Amino acid sequence: MENGHTTNAAERVQQSKRALRHELAEGALFTDQYQLTMAQLYFERDLHERPAQFDHFFRNNPDYGSHQAGFCVAAGLEWLLDWIDAARFTEAVLAPLRAQVDASGAPVFSDSFCNWLADIGSFESLSIEAVPEGRVVHPGAPMTVVRGPLAVAQLLETALLNQLNFQTLIATKASRVAEASRGRPVLEFGLRRSAEFGANAATRAALVGGAEASSNVGASYLMGLNPRGTHAHSMVQAFMALGEGELGAFRAYADSYPDGCLLLVDTIDTLGSGVPNAITVFEELRAKGHEPVGIRLDSGDLAYLAIQSALQLDAAGFDDVGIVLSSSLDELLIFQILAQIDSEAPRYGLDPARLVARLSMGVGSKLTASEGHPYLDGVYKLVSIEQDGESKPAIKVSDTPAKTPNPGDKSLYRIYDARGRSTADLLTIADADAPSGDAEIELRHPTQPNTRRRLAPDDVSEIEPLLTDVVVDGSRVAEPAPLDELRARRVRDIERLDPGVRRLVNPHRYHVSLSTDLFDLKQSLVETALRG
């Protein structure tokens, strides 16, 4: 290390501070305190190894206020499995648990409980089923099912929800931005306003959900992609302060990156200075045998500026260079900008489709913070526990019937209609009443007894089980899928949605239904619980 000032000792302090943070706050203790207090309670009653099942699902699609998601895109599973594989109850992790005392000064966690955690060491006693990453998922249908010893499955809750809630939230937002962008490339730029290192999960989720690339250098490399980026206003400012002006800055950029010349044109005056200076430099580049890449517009009326910039570029013979739009973009703003181009471009003799075809979208904070709905309401609910060698379905009764989870071990199917579009997800009692293409399928509303739909065999083109084994007795059953495969799943699932469900604003509600047997089981459990 070429390091005059910092001593090696200081460096070791910093490295060990980071190591401490990784071990203490990103490993097995990346959890809520109540998971540990409950686990200890189960341990003390010898319930800790009782086989149990938890379902993970979200209750509502994100509603961004002025616009609403009609579906979500599953993401985060691989990083969750990586976390599970690495999480360990080492003595370093257990030391603060052993030291924690309550108000009376007594230890909160007993030696015998901490020793049990040390003995199990990890989450390897669990089995996990999941809807694969990249797939379209709907409210109320389990995305993830965890089976294993009650206390161990309980201890996984927080980390599971954290990883899957967040990446699903961002992948969903990215899929909407991509939908609004009409197939034009979306670049994720959100790192500077994201939640600390959660930014890397956001970049991954955006890449799964709809972004073509990201400015985030490290996360892009992790995902096997080249990061994207050119220059900021500060570079133009620096050359201005040094007396070389915007043109000097652009010339320097073209000189350093002759085959990647994309210039930010709004530091001073987009149409009066930025675009003309860019054209000057593009002409110089072309004279040297290089083709310019494009310009970036980062402020103002982006539709108007894109039209006017295109006119200037076309007139100068640069009708192929790209135009990147950025500045607080989200799906609704992109939708509006493209609609404005459709309506205004012809007035200037421009073909709107040709203009749109040269655009890319740089989308930052509003994507990686999911502006308008910044968290997904995913939950993790106990649905069964073993008693006397038999699995007992568990229930939680809520004043809001929609919040009562569907009990017991279940199967999840996606049913496609005669056109090949997905028409409903169906939850059944596991394997007991699997739907078949040979008989009528009854779809029951999850809470309303008199709302039902019947699908005749002719109405159904395909019945697809959605949950697949991903961890069996602690071992991952498959290699992680490459990014391209996750993206292909998303594209295919979105194509098979009804256009009404894909709508950015006021989408149709997709049905997640119960089989009649499951509906009846749920009702009887609720009645029993309310009787006490």
Stretch in the footprint of a second copy (CB under 8 A) among 257-265, 343-351, 432-440, 456-464? 257-265
Stretch in the footprint of a second copy (CB under 8 A) among 265-273, 336-344, 427-435, 502-510? 265-273
Residue 313 neighbours by CB under 8 Å, 6+ apart: 275, 279, 295, 319, 321, 323
Helix 302-315 to helix 331-344 angle (10° resolution) is 50
Stretch in the footprint of a second copy (CB under 8 A) among 241-249, 451-459, 461-469, 509-517? 241-249
- Single residue of 8, 9, 46, 65 touching a second copy by CB under 8 A: 65
Q: What is the dihedral of CA 63, 69, 73, 79, to 10 degrees?
A: -20
**CB of 183 or CB of 243, closer to a second copy:** 243
**92 counts as binding a second copy under rule CB under 8 A:** no
Q: Least CB distance from residue 300 to a second copy, whole Å?
A: 6
Q: 177 is written with which tokens?
A: 């931005």
**CB of 78 or CB of 442, closer to a second copy:** 78
476-515 binders of a second copy (CB under 8 A): none
**CB of 96 or CB of 420, closer to a second copy:** 96
Query: Which is nearest to 75 in space by CA: 481, 505, 363?
Result: 481
Q: 176 is written with which tokens?
A: 């909407």
Q: Least CB distance from residue 343 to a second copy, whole Å?
A: 23
157-216 binders of a second copy (CB under 8 A): 157-158, 161-163, 165-167, 189, 191-202, 215-216
358-387 binders of a second copy (CB under 8 A): 365-366, 368-371, 374-378, 380-382, 384-385, 387
- Single residue of 103, 349, 450, 479 touching a second copy by CB under 8 A: 103
- Single residue of 86, 402, 439, 478 touching a second copy by CB under 8 A: 86
Cα–Cα distance, 53 to 46 (Å, whole number): 17
Cα–Cα distance, 354 to 345 (Å, whole number): 10
301-340 binders of a second copy (CB under 8 A): none
272-301 binders of a second copy (CB under 8 A): 273, 299-300
Residue entry with tokens 């007139």: 315
**232 counts as binding a second copy under rule CB under 8 A:** yes
Cα–Cα distance, 418 to 426 (Å, whole number): 17
118-137 binders of a second copy (CB under 8 A): 118-122, 124
Q: Please name every residue paired with 472 in a beta bridge, in sequence order, or none if there are none.
A: 475
Query: Which is nearest to 144 in space by CA: 416, 443, 379?
Result: 379
- Single residue of 173, 231, 410, 444 touching a second copy by CB under 8 A: 231
**24 counts as binding a second copy under rule CB under 8 A:** yes
Query: Which is nearest to 150 in space by CA: 121, 126, 115?
Result: 126
288: left (phi > 0), else alpha (psi -120 to 50), else beta?
A: alpha
Q: Least CB distance from residue 424 to a second copy, whole Å?
A: 28
Cα–Cα distance, 251 to 232 (Å, whole number): 15
**409 counts as binding a second copy under rule CB under 8 A:** no
**253 counts as binding a second copy under rule CB under 8 A:** yes
422-451 binders of a second copy (CB under 8 A): none
**98 counts as binding a second copy under rule CB under 8 A:** no
Burial of 409 (0-12, 13-18, 19+ CB in 10 A): middle
Q: How many residues bind a second copy (CB under 8 A)?
A: 152
Q: Least CB distance from residue 479 to a second copy, whole Å?
A: 11
**9 counts as binding a second copy under rule CB under 8 A:** no
Cα–Cα distance, 241 to 239 (Å, whole number): 5
**CB of 38 or CB of 432, closer to a second copy:** 38
Query: Which is nearest to 440 in space by CA: 515, 522, 330?
Result: 515
